[in-house]
Structure 1
Amino acid sequence: MENAKKPSCKAHCLILSYPAQGHINPLLQFSKRLEQRGIKFTLVTTRFIVKTLHTASSSTSIALETISDGYDDGGINQAESISAYLERFWEVGPQTLSELVEKMNGLDSICPIDCIVYDSFLPWALHVAKKFGLFAASFLTQSCAVDSIYYHVHRGLLKLPLNDDEILLPGLPPLKPHDTPSFVYDMESYPAIFPMVVTSQFGNIHEANWVLCNTFYELEKEGLECVPLDSNS
């Protein structure tokens, strides 16, 4: 049975961020734009990160919920390594996100969740959305140029390791190897991060209802139009 909603609630989006400032801020700014259009949002991050947020001085009332990354007392600093942190987060995150959706979409919910807008670094959120029959939008928190480079590496269109040749990618100016993100240019130094930014975030992105990017269309028009996130991605 469909839950009743307040007339003022056009829709309710759960905004899930990877627990890092460079990811929370873009998703928060996007959320405020949704709010301006009458769409309710609830920002979600990890329990540890919420302990570090300075919400008291905020001029905007933000609905905030938490999930667990498996390290509620110390976050990534509590883990033995980045690899251990990500592995644990990938185990605990989907379970606690599911529990949150169940709680917020309970029988007494006035404005249940309609859509999960999730950080592309957390692709397992798509499976949670599908589990509950919700819409899902993958949000790329980095610029289109950076994501385009990652995407071409993911598709095997940009071969690694890079050599000294000039890099020519659709929609981007000619690049030197050192112009690319450090996770690509010096990938051996980031054995845990590389799979997340190159492989994981694009692995199921074609299954999302929408793909959103943290950019200004007019600034990166060519790049945006040259990244076909289709079923072959």
Structure 2
Amino acid sequence: MENDKEARKPHCLSFPLQGHVNPILQFSKRLQHKGRTRVTLVVTKFFLKTAQDFPAFSFPVETFSDGFDDGLDEKLEPEESYRRCWEVGSATLAQLLEKLSSSGCGVDWLIYDPFYPWALVVAKKFGLTAAMFFTQSNSVNSIYFHAHMGELKLPLSEAQVRISGRLPALKPE
């Protein structure tokens, strides 16, 4: 009976970028603690291979390849690294989803790092609900957005910077 009950729980994959494992791990623990969701943490093969004392958690850990299983190739241009991560990462995430589905552990939703935007493409292909997990405050994301849109000129030259919304005036530092 317990296995039937466990099988009916929605299954979530938490899918962080290497430097964002701890925040998404804490969030995943909270999701699972509520008892309504099964969580699987998905990390790169390189991360799992190099992480020291990566503790056993109360949920499974799976790996995928981002194309850099032996570490980042410093000789590649950033655009080439990004392209390789997109191609290899999306293919191996799809393979993982197929593997989990065929083993009876299908995934219902994906929480992914915004630095892996291709994860949303894969989630849509599999009909999954997906959500980005931001490891920074929304204020920082707002600053990035306004800089990207050209509303915040860099480098900063003003003594204070005002950004539309609810942020107070900010000092450049």
State yes or no: 1:80 paired with 2:75: yes
The corresponding residue for 1:200 is none
- Scaled by the length of structure 2, the TM-score of the pair is 0.86
The corresponding residue for 2:116 is 122
Tell me by how many angstroms 1:142 deviates. Answer: 1.2
- Scaled by the length of structure 1, the TM-score of the pair is 0.65
The corresponding residue for 2:170 is 175
On the 8 A contact 1:79/1:85 being kept in 2, the answer is no
The corresponding residue for 1:104 is 100
Letter in 2 for 1:91: E
State yes or no: 1:133 paired with 2:131: no
Equivalent-residue separation in structure 2 for 1:13 and 1:82 (angstroms): 34
The equivalent position to 1:51 in structure 2, one of 46, 49, 52, is 49
- SS of 1:72's equivalent? coil
Tell me by how many angstroms 1:174 deviates. Answer: 1.4
The corresponding residue for 1:160 is 154
The corresponding residue for 1:37 is 34
- SS of 2:88's equivalent? helix
Tell me by how many angstroms 1:114 deviates. Answer: 0.3
Equivalent-residue separation in structure 1 for 2:162 and 2:77 (angstroms): 32
State yes or no: 1:66 paired with 2:63: yes
Figure out how many residues of one structure are paired with residues of the other and give that number.
Answer: 167
On the 8 A contact 1:71/1:79 being kept in 2, the answer is no
Equivalent-residue separation in structure 2 for 1:126 and 1:143 (angstroms): 21
On the 8 A contact 2:38/2:59 being kept in 1, the answer is no
Sort the Cα spacing of 1:119 and 1:82 in 2 relative to 1 into closer, same or farther, 3 A: farther
The 10-residue stretch of structure 1 (111-120 or 143-152) with the greater mean CA deviation from structure 2:
143-152
Tell me by how many angstroms 1:70 deviates. Answer: 1.1
Letter in 1 for 2:168: P
The corresponding residue for 2:9 is 10
Sort the Cα spacing of 1:150 and 1:13 in 2 relative to 1 into closer, same or farther, 3 A: same
Tell me by how many angstroms 1:150 deviates. Answer: 1.0
Letter in 2 for 1:42: T
- SS of 2:153's equivalent? coil
On the 8 A contact 2:147/2:154 being kept in 1, the answer is yes
On the 8 A contact 2:45/2:63 being kept in 1, the answer is yes
- SS of 2:110's equivalent? strand
Tell me by how many angstroms 1:59 deviates. Answer: 6.0
Identity of aligned residues (%): 48
Equivalent-residue separation in structure 1 for 2:52 and 2:93 (angstroms): 23
